[in-house]
Amino acid sequence: MHTTGVTSPLAGWWKPAHRSEKIWATVAFVWCMVLFAMMPFWHLKGGQNPSGTRARVEPEAFRARVTEFVEEYRVGEASGIPIVAPPPGSDIYLMGQMWLWYPVLRLQQDAEYTLHLSSVDVNHGFNLYPFNVNFQVVPGYDYALSITPTEAGDFRVVCNEFCGVGHHAMLGRIIVDPPGTQVGSAVPEAAVPGGES
């Protein structure tokens, strides 16, 4: 005799499952194991992991480091924001604040950098256009990610965490030069990215 979900089951309802249910439960279980295993596997073999090194940082201390970084490697200015060209392998900084990404970064293709992300006021969201790479930027925390730009171009950093009424105006820029470009050479005019890639 069968019961529905609205009636009390008959005594002794702890019965063996149907064969079809057993098959499905096995398939689902194996699949869940695959879902789990893919994450450690990608840490070993994959090139994209949100690990980084993470530390607490006072917003004002972070701002001071960014200022120092900008003074050291400044090569120009775009829309009133300094352009900074740090050497490959160095620590680079991107600061979120209402409603600006500071500074503009100028990087070399295929070089590795340690990108420090933090905010000096509220939460912001790092979204790299057009590659769709996303990280949460939280005030009080320094998220240091090693990044390797694998393609040259003129990229944008969209803020994708609501940060107040000017949120939509918060748009930053990362320029990636082809390998071998001299640091200090002319900065390309702000092209509209996305079209050529």
Under rule CB under 8 A, which residues in 74-93 are in contact with another protein?
78-81
Among the listed residues 92, 127, 153, 177, the single contact to another protein using CB under 8 A: 127
Q: Which of residues 16-45 bind another protein (CB under 8 A)?
A: 17-21, 23-25, 27-29, 31-33, 35-36, 38-40, 42-43
CA atoms within 13 A on the CB side of 52: 20
Exposed / middle / buried, residue 22 (Cβ in 10 Å: 0-12, 13-18, 19+): exposed
- Which CB, 2 or 60, lies closer to another protein? 2
Query: Does 54 contact another protein by CB under 8 A?
Result: yes
Q: Which 137-196 residues touch another protein, going by CB under 8 A?
A: 137-143, 145-151, 156, 158-173, 190, 192-195
> Binding of another protein at residue 117 (CB under 8 A)?
yes
The one-character DSSP state at 168 is: G
9 binds another protein (CB under 8 A): yes
The torsion region of residue 174 among left (phi > 0), alpha (psi -120 to 50) and beta comes to beta
103 close to 116: Cβ distance less than 8 angstroms: no
